Structure 1
Amino acid sequence: MSAEFLTKSLTVLFGYAMPALECFKVIEQRPGRTDQLRFWCQYWIILVILVIFDEIAGALTSRIPMYSEVKLAFLVYLWYPQTRGTDIVYETFLRPLVMQYEPNIEERLRYLRANAGDIVIFYLKNFTERGYDLFLRALDYIRSQASRGSRSRRWFSFGGDRAERPSFVDDYVAGGGGSGDRRSTTRHRRPHNDY
């Protein structure tokens, strides 16, 4: 069992499964406690930001030694009852940052929601046009390579001039290399010079 697999398994268990179960228990309590709901909402917000960061900077974070282990320790720090790091991280770092840019973020999200259909159609149209153009260029390139006739194609083609084939092909054919029993064939080999 590799250390990476163990770390990922522990991250899933302690970073996702246990907090999800705790969040479920808080939601299902009668009557619900708003302070606990707030805590778990803050946790999931921080976790989503961490996942987005991992997706964007994945190539960079994979080169940091023990990044997965530090991430696991951070996730446990966030929800562990004695540390309750979620409150500290949310109130100290995340809340002031998001509050500063919230109007701009909200405006962009409203624009995206209103124009989502147009944006998707625009990208699909661009992708299909460019994809079709790229496909035609690839076919044109393959056709030009085939019409030039590469050397390896002439060697192994059924037709063509014997002068264009290398001598080992002629030697193999002359020795009966195409017949079923290979033990009975004699191959003509050129003398080998050992220096």
Structure 2
Amino acid sequence: MVGSFLPRTICKMVLGYVYPAYECYKTLKNNKPEIEQLILWCQYWILVAMLTVLERVGDALFAWLPIYCEVKLALFIYLWSSKVKGTNYLYNHLFRNFVSQHELEIDSKILEFRVKTGDIANYCCQKALNYGHKGVSEIFQYASSHSASQPCHDQAC
């Protein structure tokens, strides 16, 4: 199992991430990249992000299937292959339709998440400031109580 895991993982990283990233680089390197190529790579990376999230669930449920890893690898190749235009098909027929149908709900949840995380961050910052203020006050009280109780025998006092 471990013997086949490493080559499959390396293959997936190279064919799913490194090669497409290099192709993106080559597209952006052009002084005036074609808009179709930019759209293709934006769509590709959107799909890869979604597949990476779904992969966590898929791995837990389907990793026991004999060719599961090979199918995942084939899917990445299907996405960037210019002959079959997999990215274009999956993005336009599945992803875009799904997101369009749920866009208002998604935006609402994102806004709700931002508000909640902002509230949590604000609460945590307030607590940290309060603890910091309390700690600094205690340090000053300690220092002032100890400096007043000890006589100064130095000429500099």
Same fold (TM over 0.5): yes
Unaligned runs of 5+ in 2: 125-157
For residues 113 and 28 of structure 1, the distance between their equivalents in structure 2, rounded to whole angstroms, comes to 35
For residues 73 and 39 of structure 1, the distance between their equivalents in structure 2, rounded to whole angstroms, comes to 18
How far is 1:64 from its partner? 2.4
For residues 68 and 119 of structure 2, the distance between their equivalents in structure 1, rounded to whole angstroms, comes to 40
For residues 90 and 119 of structure 1, the distance between their equivalents in structure 2, rounded to whole angstroms, comes to 35
Name the structure 1 match of 2:145.
none
Structure 1 or 2: more helix by fraction: 2
Q: Which amino acid aligns with 1:74?
A: L
Query: Relative to structure 1, is the Cα distance of residues 58 and 120 closer, same or farther in structure 2, using a 3 angstrom cutoff?
Result: farther
Q: What is the RMSD computed on CA atoms of the aligned residues?
A: 2.0
Name the structure 1 match of 2:23.
22
Q: Which amino acid aligns with 1:105?
A: I
Name the structure 2 match of 1:41.
42
SS in 1 for 2:36: helix
Name the structure 1 match of 2:103.
102
Query: Relative to structure 1, is the Cα distance of residues 54 and 107 closer, same or farther in structure 2, using a 3 angstrom cutoff?
Result: same
Instruction: Report the TM-score when normalising by structure 1.
Output: 0.58
How far is 1:33 from its partner? 1.2
Name the structure 2 match of 1:74.
75
The answer as to 2:11 corresponding to 1:10 is yes
Tell me if structure 2 keeps the 8 A contact 1:15–1:72. Answer: yes
Tell me if structure 2 keeps the 8 A contact 1:54–1:61. Answer: no
Q: Which amino acid aligns with 2:17?
A: Y
1:34-66 C-alpha deviation (Å, 9 max, x unpaired): 110100011111111111011234321322221
For residues 29 and 103 of structure 1, the distance between their equivalents in structure 2, rounded to whole angstroms, comes to 37
1:3-43 C-alpha deviation (Å, 9 max, x unpaired): 22111111000000000111121122111211101000111
1:115-141 C-alpha deviation (Å, 9 max, x unpaired): 313245789xxxxxxxxxxxxxxxxxx
Name the structure 2 match of 1:51.
52
Structure with the bigger RCO (C-alpha within 8 Å, sep 6+) is: 2
The answer as to 2:85 corresponding to 1:84 is yes
Name the structure 1 match of 2:139.
none
Name the structure 2 match of 1:114.
115
Structure 1 residue runs of 4+, over 3 Å off? 119-123
For residues 75 and 88 of structure 1, the distance between their equivalents in structure 2, rounded to whole angstroms, comes to 13
Tell me if structure 2 keeps the 8 A contact 1:79–1:85. Answer: yes
For residues 123 and 64 of structure 2, the distance between their equivalents in structure 1, rounded to whole angstroms, comes to 37
Q: Percent identity?
A: 33
Instruction: Report the TM-score when normalising by structure 2.
Output: 0.71
Unaligned runs of 5+ in 1: 124-195
